[in-house]
Structure 1
Amino acid sequence: MNSYKSLTFVLLGGLLFAGCKITRKYERPVLSASLTDSLYRAPATTDTSSLADMPWQQLFTDPKLQQLIGLGLANNLDLKVALERINEAQALLEQSRQAFMPSLNFSPNVTLSRTSRAALNLPPNININLKTTTFQVGVTTNWEADIWGKLSSAKRASMASLMQTEAARKALQTQVVATIANAYYGLLALDQQLAVTQATIEVRRKNVFTMQKLKESAIVTGAAVVQSEGNLYAAEVSVPDLKQGIRELENALNVVLGRHPQPIERNTLEEQSANVDLKTGVPLQLLQKRPDVAAAELTYRAAFENVNVARTYFYPSLAITAGSGGFSALATNSIFTNSLFYSLAAGLTQPILAKGANKARLKTTEAQREMALQNFYKSILVAGQEVSDALFAYEMGVEKEATRKKQIDALEKAVNYTEQLLRYSSATNYTDVLTSEQALLAAQLAGISDKRQQLLAIVELYRALGGGK
């Protein structure tokens, strides 16, 4: 008898040792030096200070923009959906934890039965009770031993999925902050473009009146008058497009804020400052600061653990089952008296004919793991691209702003000179004035876009570095 016990312990010990070899411990994906040292096109630095460390309330100092961002973070519908995904992942994690515990089912029942006298073939003088009522209180339980680490791997996969949903929520939050800021700056730019256009319309109306007076004085011809009128109408016809753009952008922003369409309270573009210290930190920090990169790694980790689970299906499972147990009696007052019954079983289940399905399951999870790994590497490359693009966009916006100011100054002088020449000299005509005015308006509108480009580049860099959480 002792030899059987020893053999049993040896077999169980061997199974447990083999289980340690079936599942593998998770290791972070290896990153090449190009990813960790030169991920984005910027001067090499060892300074770990990053724009992403700044709270969004400090980066966006406009009180009305702060109010809109706070409203969006509280009411955005996509963020609410992301929160429910976290609740779902938490429930799945709890479910995987409960898999370690034995199941327990309680099943009380009452059975009414009547036996046929003819079926029993009893003599006529035998009188027995053909109707019986049986009361039973049953309990069943089942417990699976986690020999190969299947339950542990499933729990780790659920934990990674939970962390992935939380990282995805943070990534969505950074996107919501950036979207609100971008829309706000877009509205300010459209407001200023509308103001410049309306001011230009007033100037051109005066020009029409001036051309009419000059025609009466025989200084210009009727062609100059109609040209000035056409120039006026060209400015006026752009106003509805600007107003439509403002209304549509307001409506789109209201959707992000989780409310019905309504006017957006805002300040002016001139009040916004683009003077920000654009510190990017070191590329490796993106792995911790970018929530979408963290989410991609956690997706890979969950897929890694799913491969571990798939491997365990090739090996037998050990389950201990109390198939039925409890008390059974014909009367309720004697249900706990001499009425105990039970059965207990333990066994190993080894897959034989299911190996084809198990192989397919393993190949599927391995393919999913490799896809998740490549998506993780891609998320890092995309992060580097976005940082590089934002940095360069800001630099080019600053460069254009300096040149644009010189262009506008030159065109303002050109308009003034051609208007003076038109009045007091025959060496020019209204076509020269028209060309100068149109070029000036285009340059003024482009100057507004240059300022907006700088602001949007700061927002995009802040998001690309992982700020706004």
Structure 2
Amino acid sequence: MNTRYHKYYFIIAFSVLTLSACVTKKYERPAVISKDLYRGNTSTDSTTIADLQWKTLFVDAGLQSLIEEGIGGNLDLKQAIERIKIAEATLLQSRAALLPSLTADVSVTDAKQSRAALNFPPGININTETQTYKAQLSTSWEADIWGKLSSAKRSAYASLLQSDAAKRAVQTQLIANIANGYYNLLALDKQLAITEQTIQIREKDVETMKSLKEGAVVNGAAVVQSEANLYAAQVTLPDLKRNIRETENALSILLGRGPGKIDLSTLDQQTTYSNLQTGVSAQLLQNRPDVQAAEFAFRAAFENKNVAKAYFYPALTLTANAGLSSLSLKNFFDNSVFYNLIGGITQPIFNKGQNKARLKTAQAQQQIAFYSFQQSLLTGGQEVSDALFAYQTAAQKETTRAKQVASLTKAVDFTKELLRYSSATNYTDVLTSEQSLLAAQLSSINDRLQKLQSVVNLYRALGGGWK
């Protein structure tokens, strides 16, 4: 007989599990475009700079110190860590939902009835005021037949993983922002030094033009032009100093400190990491935290849809309470035990369209999460392609720009010599050569900056900076 009952129990349990599997589906990664996302890159080598520690990529001691300070003090990163704590609490709550609740209640009730309302016959003297003393434990448990509670737990777990991935995404972006800000500051510092050097040269030019005018080699127009050329260089100094101050302030905020001066090395001391291996685009699924966060968001939405589907099916709930109840505190423990045990099945029939609306909303949110997941991959591929091409074009410009600066330097020297000893030229030629040289020198700094920052951007685009 017992064996037969066990057989029935097994069949019932198997049936419940089978029906549950029909209601809630198991998560599988959706089919997304993850191949051939790097334009112009057909490499099949899986080696990528995303696997490098950031200290390997950024060897400048000053920059390393700033990045470490930023990781420890950045307020956005601290907020992301607190969001992880919120997600952890939500997960613990969803896990506890699978367990029965238990509450304790101790109460004293004083009740008095109206004698007129009780309609006692005349002459009967009954106490119409009573005190009831009660102590009880109550419990309630919902059987997770259709996987609703389990799906909610898996959704909370996916949200926790999403929060952790979002925190790592904040860190990779932070490292990139600090490095780019540092390099930008170096470039501005270099531009300031070149501009100040140019001003010194042009101050000497003004004195030279005055001497040549006294010797009747040039006229007064050349002197005035040389002065205007000096002022053109001097007027750029305030904007350069303002840009330096604003960049320092912005970098200080990233570090989590008040605006202040940033200690720097020099642009000439920087070495560019040249072994820029990108791996294959499918690795973005494992390396880019924002892509991982987008997938976890889709996974949470998938489980929320399972939860919404389970609301269409009956819920089995068991409730029980037991304790002591007495009208007299003196006899509280004498024959005052009571208990209730209730088991019930609730099947939704008409719920004002809430279940249908919940399911449609969950389905739409899942589809939105899928599109966001795919968008993150496409964006990642674009950023890798852009950064890689930016590095290549910067390298090309750097080579050509060096030749341009060398030629313009010679042109300035030649025109100055011709102006001094020959009437075949005038100061306008010198002026044009000097202005072109300064512009080329400043552009060469921007080329160098583009090359350094493209490496930073490529590293971040590939998902580097959190391992």
Same fold (TM over 0.5): yes
Q: TM-score, normalised by structure 1?
A: 0.95
2:21 aligned partner: 20
Q: Is the 8 A contact 1:314 1:355 kept in 2?
A: no
Q: CA deviation at 1:58?
A: 1.5
The Cα offsets for residues 217-264 of structure 1, whole Å up to 9 and x where unpaired, read as 111110000000000000000000000000000011111111111100
Q: TM-score, normalised by structure 2?
A: 0.95
Which of the numbers 296, 307, 310 marks the counterpart of 2:308? 310
The answer to whether the aligner puts 1:415 opposite 2:416 as a matched pair is: no
Which of the numbers 190, 209, 219 marks the counterpart of 2:188? 190
Which of the numbers 211, 214, 230 marks the counterpart of 1:213? 211
Q: CA deviation at 1:132?
A: 2.6
2:54 aligned partner: 56
1:251 aligned partner: 249
2:276 aligned partner: 278
Which of the numbers 379, 383, 394 marks the counterpart of 1:382? 379
1:393 aligned partner: 390
AA of the residue aligned to 1:357: Q
Q: CA deviation at 1:312?
A: 0.6
Quote the Cα distance in structure 2 between the aligned partners of 1:431 and 1:69: 48
Quote the Cα distance in structure 1 between the aligned partners of 2:5 and 2:118: 48
Quote the Cα distance in structure 1 between the aligned partners of 2:9 and 2:270: 77
Q: CA deviation at 1:125?
A: 5.3
3-state SS, counterpart of residue 426 of structure 1? coil
3-state SS, counterpart of residue 138 of structure 1? strand
Aligned residues: 465
Between 229-238 and 338-347, report the one with greater CA deviation. 338-347
2:456 aligned partner: 459
Q: Is the 8 A contact 2:70 2:174 kept in 1?
A: yes
Q: CA deviation at 1:140?
A: 1.8
Quote the Cα distance in structure 2 between the aligned partners of 1:119 and 1:355: 42
Quote the Cα distance in structure 2 between the aligned partners of 1:336 and 1:151: 39
Q: Which runs of 5+ in 1 are unaligned?
A: none
Shift of the 116–362 alpha-carbon distance from structure 1 to 2, 3 Å rule, reads closer
Between 445-454 and 269-278, report the one with greater CA deviation. 269-278
Quote the Cα distance in structure 1 between the aligned partners of 2:66 and 2:195: 27
2:31 aligned partner: 30
The Cα offsets for residues 12-46 of structure 1, whole Å up to 9 and x where unpaired, read as 654442121011111111134xx32x210244223
Give the 5 Å matches for 1:128-143.
128-143=126-141
Quote the Cα distance in structure 2 between the aligned partners of 1:376 and 1:204: 57
The Cα offsets for residues 251-286 of structure 1, whole Å up to 9 and x where unpaired, read as 111111111111001110000011431111122111
AA of the residue aligned to 1:110: V
Q: Is the 8 A contact 1:69 1:180 kept in 2?
A: yes
Q: Is the 8 A contact 1:163 1:295 kept in 2?
A: yes
Quote the Cα distance in structure 1 between the aligned partners of 2:60 and 2:54: 11
Q: CA deviation at 1:7?
A: 8.6
Quote the Cα distance in structure 1 between the aligned partners of 2:360 and 2:116: 62
AA of the residue aligned to 1:202: Q
Q: CA deviation at 1:104?
A: 1.3
Shift of the 120–74 alpha-carbon distance from structure 1 to 2, 3 Å rule, reads same
Q: CA deviation at 1:131?
A: 3.4
The Cα offsets for residues 400-449 of structure 1, whole Å up to 9 and x where unpaired, read as 11101100010001001100111111111000000000000000000011
AA of the residue aligned to 1:315: Y
Between 288-297 and 14-23, report the one with greater CA deviation. 14-23
Give the 5 Å matches for 1:353-368.
353-354=350-351, 356-368=353-365
Q: Is the 8 A contact 1:134 1:329 kept in 2?
A: yes
> For the aligned residues, what is the CA RMSD?
2.0
Which of the numbers 332, 335, 350 marks the counterpart of 1:335? 332
Q: Is the 8 A contact 2:273 2:455 kept in 1?
A: no
The answer to whether the aligner puts 1:103 opposite 2:104 as a matched pair is: no
3-state SS, counterpart of residue 416 of structure 1? helix
Q: Which runs of 5+ in 2 are unaligned?
A: none
Quote the Cα distance in structure 1 between the aligned partners of 2:155 and 2:202: 69
2:228 aligned partner: 230
The Cα offsets for residues 335-391 of structure 1, whole Å up to 9 and x where unpaired, read as 222111222111111111126221111111111111111111111111111111111
Quote the Cα distance in structure 2 between the aligned partners of 1:277 and 1:4: 70
1:80 aligned partner: 78
Shift of the 335–114 alpha-carbon distance from structure 1 to 2, 3 Å rule, reads same
2:42 aligned partner: 44
Quote the Cα distance in structure 1 between the aligned partners of 2:324 and 2:401: 92
AA of the residue aligned to 1:28: R
Quote the Cα distance in structure 1 between the aligned partners of 2:448 and 2:193: 15
3-state SS, counterpart of residue 194 of structure 1? helix
3-state SS, counterpart of residue 341 of structure 1? strand
Quote the Cα distance in structure 2 between the aligned partners of 1:153 and 1:45: 40
3-state SS, counterpart of residue 332 of structure 1? coil
3-state SS, counterpart of residue 354 of structure 1? coil
Identity of aligned residues (%): 57
Q: CA deviation at 1:122?
A: 4.7
Quote the Cα distance in structure 2 between the aligned partners of 1:211 and 1:86: 69
1:405 aligned partner: 402
Q: Is the 8 A contact 1:40 1:384 kept in 2?
A: yes
Give the 5 Å matches for 1:290-301.
290-301=288-299
3-state SS, counterpart of residue 467 of structure 1? coil
3-state SS, counterpart of residue 334 of structure 1? coil
Q: CA deviation at 1:129?
A: 3.7
AA of the residue aligned to 2:91: L
Quote the Cα distance in structure 1 between the aligned partners of 2:233 and 2:151: 67
Shift of the 122–306 alpha-carbon distance from structure 1 to 2, 3 Å rule, reads closer
Quote the Cα distance in structure 1 between the aligned partners of 2:310 and 2:127: 55
